[in-house]
Amino acid sequence: MEKIMDIIESIAHEKGLSVEKVTEAIKKAFVNTAKRLLGEDLEFEAELDEKSKKMAIYQKVQVVEDEDERAQTEPQRYIKLSEAKEIDPDVEVGDELRYPVELEKLGRTAAMRLHNEIEYHIQRLIEEQLFEKYKQRVGTIISGTVTRVDEDENTYVEIDEVKGVLPRRYRIKGESFKVGDVLKAILRRVVIDKVYGIYLELSRTTPKFLEELLKLEVPEIKDGLVTIEKVARIPGERAKVAVSSHSPKIDPVGACVGVKGVRINAVSKELKGENIDCIEYSPVPEIFVARSLSPAIITSVKIEGDKAIVTLPPDQKSKAIGKNGINIRLASMLTGYEIELVEKGSAIEQKQEESQEPKITLADLFKD
């Protein structure tokens, strides 16, 4: 085929692909076309002559011993040594002879099939490149325009050169989108489907989404002065974020909240009014557990394996638990401990006072 090199360079430039990869893709297209037209069990090879800019197709035939029955039963794949030597005197058993194949002489069907094969392999090449590009962005925020919401309430988004989908289960409860809305979400994974091609699966419910939104709103986090240590969310309702500072001059909680709450409110608005508590992280488990139960005032904390036994005044218990138990659930998710609340002055608390096990008191918390 003439001037195939010009076609390769044109495709590479238009699609933003490397010439080498496009060349290999088109070689595969030529070989597959020859197989489909002449026989799937035959062996072919495509060879590009860069000087003439032509693509040549060859059928490969293996040289076997004269006694080998395959030369009789499969003459299109095997040739006897004696017959092969008539073509090339230096040939030996195991070598391959190549016969040129001219696809142009196979008619319009061959041209159409070759065209389809080239389109298929170039599309796969584009998808592979997009897959690698977006795989690097998994865990970051992606923005796009809503194009459709299906009957199952899955939301479809146009994101540059690819499609995105926000499944209903990864959408914040109670929120909805309409065509034309600009949607922000975390890129959860990149999918290549045989039917739908490449698409991005999005999520707005993962704790990572809250973390990335804070990075956008808080310069101190972006600059590495404040670190997000832990995040726990019940999407659309409430979240807790533990942060730490690398400078004694910076209050990590104040930096995240912003003047009059402007920074944290911007994040909350994106999350459909999700209430976000920022607390200062501590590497001391007892202190971290006590802070995680804010706004409740804690008297003491004792760690026993995976359990944190928290003593607190009776009037603080409801605050520690929170509405429908949401505060204690988030505290447990954030710290990784099963939290048990004990009212100060109760029989259980008195029994613990007699124990020799160490515990952190309220006075200890102010030492941190």
Q: Which domains does the chain have, with CATH numbers?
A: 4-130 (3.30.1480.10), 141-203 (2.40.50.140), 206-281 (3.30.300.20), 284-368 (3.30.300.20)
Query: How do 338-343 and 155-159 pair as beta strands?
Result: unpaired
- 24 CB burial (10 A radius; 0-12, 13-18, 19+): middle
CA 242 to chain centre: 25
Dist CA 117 CA 120 (whole Å): 5
CB contact set of 263 (below 8 Å; sequence gap of 6+): 217, 218, 255, 256, 257
Tokens representing residue 269 in the block: 């608005």
Q: What is the DSSP letter of 174?
A: T
Dist CA 272 CA 269 (whole Å): 5
Nearest to 341 by CA among 333, 331, 240: 331
Dist CA 197 CA 109 (whole Å): 26
Dist CA 149 CA 168 (whole Å): 10
Residue positions counted in the chain: 368
Q: What is the DSSP letter of 279?
A: E
What residues does 211 pair with on adjacent strands?
A: none
Phi, psi at 76, each rounded to 5° = -80, -10
Dist CA 328 CA 332 (whole Å): 6
- Give the per-residue pLDDT at 368: 47
Dist CA 143 CA 287 (whole Å): 38
Dist CA 343 CA 148 (whole Å): 53
What digits encode the pLDDT tens for the residues 10-56? 888 888 888 889 989 999 999 999 888 888 888 898 988 777 778 88
What digits encode the pLDDT tens for the residues 117-165? 999 999 889 888 899 999 999 999 999 999 999 999 999 999 988 999 9
Q: What is the DSSP letter of 102?
A: -
CB contact set of 74 (below 8 Å; sequence gap of 6+): none
Query: How do 238-245 and 226-234 pair as beta strands?
Result: antiparallel
DSSP labels, 17-40: --HHHHHHHHHHHHHHHHHHHH-T
Residue 174 Ramachandran class (φ > 0 left, ψ -120 to 50 alpha, else beta): left
Tokens representing residue 12 in the block: 């590479």
CA 107 to chain centre: 45
CB contact set of 257 (below 8 Å; sequence gap of 6+): 263, 264, 278
pTM of the model: 0.75
- Give the per-residue pLDDT at 141: 96
Tokens representing residue 132 in the block: 């690698």
- Give the per-residue pLDDT at 366: 46
Cα–Cα distances in angstroms (integers) from residue 266 to residues 176, 217, 226, 288, 344, in the given order: 19, 8, 18, 26, 39
Query: SS3 of 156, please?
Result: strand
pLDDT < 50: residue spans in the chain: 1, 356, 362, 365-368
